[in-house]
Structure 1
Amino acid sequence: MGDVDDSLAAMGEPERGCLQRVIATAWRVVPEADQGRSYGMPALKVDGKPLIGVVAAAKHLSIFPFSPEVVDAVAPKLAGFSLSKGTVRFTPDHPVPEEVVEEMVRLRLAEIRR
């Protein structure tokens, strides 16, 4: 196992399932991504740079694409979600649509590879 798998395995449901879905979606887009940590959170990395991270907090789940530009780019598709500079917050009852996760991953990968 790796940092992401270990962190997710320690969580309860439904949080674990929701965050595993985000990670599985990211791996479908970037199958060569490695597990690691960035800013203390479990994250997938590409070329040693953070691609996407996930965290379960007390009242929400978060996706971190490590880029304010990526969050800004998908913000119009995330009405009703809590967004900040580099974070998308959601709940198990209101998950981020898979196509938006895919878009975040593709946009972040493009930034990394520039």
Structure 2
Amino acid sequence: MKETDRSKTAQNVDEYFQGFSEEVQAVLEQVRQTIRATAPQAKEVISYQIPGYNYLGPLVYFAGFKNHCSLFVTNKQIFKIFTEELLHFKTSGTTIHFTAHKPLPSSLIQKIVQFKMRENEERDALKKQTALMKKQKPLSYK
């Protein structure tokens, strides 16, 4: 199966990994296991034809390509927070690029996932608070 065919037809992450070299599969599996260990309550999905995780909204996505792998973090603020740790990796938009020969450290993936979890929790709490306030009747003054 060609890489382009695989990504379009994958129904789950295991299927997505098929067709990559064993070396790339090992790196992608390491990313997957790090995310799962850091956010066990997150739901694993295929979204935008790539593996991702949702926890109170999008958490992170990752993908393999011919010459590199990517972690999609969905928030540019992460690049400001983790500037030092990301110095040796190519970044663009909300994406961190890495290779099988120079993978992202698990500790950095954990920090990014933890940051995104807190961000999603804060956003969810704000949504709930706003919804509750809309349901409450205004006080009447006599």
Measured against the shorter chain, the TM-score band is 0.7 to 0.9
Q: How does 1:8-87 map to 2 (within 5 A)?
A: 8-47=17-56, 49-87=57-95
The higher radius of gyration belongs to: 2
Cα distance change, pair 29–113 in 1 and its aligned pair in 2 (3 A):
same
Matched, 1:109 2:117: yes
Residue 9 (structure 1) shift? 3.4
- Structure ranking higher on relative contact order (CA contacts 8 Å, 6+ apart): 1
Q: TM-score, normalised by structure 2?
A: 0.72
Q: Report the secondary structure of 2:22's partner residue.
A: coil
Q: Is the Cα contact below 8 Å between 2:79 and 2:86 reproduced in 1? A: no
Q: Is the Cα contact below 8 Å between 1:65 and 1:71 reproduced in 2? A: no
Distance in 2 of aligned mates of 1:29 and 1:65:
15
1:30-79 per-residue CA deviation (whole Å, 9 max, x = no partner) reads 111111133332111113x2211111112111011222112332232122
Runs (5+) with no aligned partner, structure 1 = none
Distance in 2 of aligned mates of 1:111 and 1:33:
14
Is the strand fraction higher in 1 or 2? 1
Runs (5+) with no aligned partner, structure 2 = 1-10, 123-142
Q: Report the secondary structure of 1:14's partner residue.
A: helix
Q: TM-score, normalised by structure 1?
A: 0.87
Distance in 1 of aligned mates of 2:83 and 2:67:
21
Amino acid at match of 1:3: N
Distance in 2 of aligned mates of 1:44 and 1:66:
12
